[in-house]
Amino acid sequence: MRALLVQHDHVTASGPVGDRLRERGFEIDEIMVVTEENFENPNVNFEFPDVSGYDLVVPMGAPWGAWDDGCIGNWLTPELEWVRSTIEADIPVLGICFGGQLIARALGGTVARGAQSEIGWKTIYSDDTSLVSNGPWFQFHYDQWTMPEGAVEIARNPIAPQAFTYGRSLAVQFHPELNSAILEGWLDQGGINEVIASGQNPEIMIAQTRDEEGRAAERTAALVDAFLERVAKLG
């Protein structure tokens, strides 16, 4: 089986999500939308590939919101259409954070800046913990989606919706791919200022992540397995 992972920026690697897909026998291709040299001016043009040869598409996170047409509209608008057409072609999509927002908006829901940010390890409340556990999951976003018609919300917390299914696809607002190396990259790319602005200590956040990442990788593997078997029906 083949999976296409969409990396929207140069510091968001696939981490334990990619690891588990490879363990499940997937051949993985990765594309990057905004390269390092364009990071400060991310409104690039990008041509998304034909997905007909893939069994799974995984749009990953991004430091931007999937509502920000002014900042990234040159590629956000085409990607929304691309995600919608992928789902309509009955190719499963696993949307992670920004990728989950893409699914919501592409299918007719809305995405907007939320009233409150979520940064750090957070528990959620899941209706189906065998599919999406209560975590804790790492969060780094300022956004909130509304549900598209036909979607089934399966997890939330007091701040924002956290996961929904739509047919063979799954959207999550958190970061199952997160490990300490990825977090260090985010902090080095400017995220440290956002952590400090939220009243948190980045050094402690890194230490907590190093301590948590083994258990988090197990939760991610369970999420990927359940998604493949129960939602995408690729098990």
61, 17 Cβ separation under 8 angstroms: no
Residues 97-154: pLDDT tens digits? 999 999 999 999 999 999 899 999 999 999 999 999 999 999 999 999 999 999 999 9
Residues 21-70: pLDDT tens digits? 999 999 999 999 999 999 999 999 999 999 999 999 999 999 999 999 99
176, 225 Cβ separation under 8 angstroms: no
Q: What is the CATH number of domain 2-231?
A: 3.40.50.880
- Stretch 191-219: mean pLDDT: 97
Mean pLDDT score across all residues of the chain:
97
d(CA 54, CA 50): 9
> pLDDT value at position 150?
97
Q: Report pTM.
A: 0.97
Predicted confidence (pLDDT) at residue 187 exceeds the cutoff of 80: yes
pLDDT band per the 50, 70, 90 thresholds, residue 235: confident
61: Cα within 13 Å, side-chain hemisphere: 24
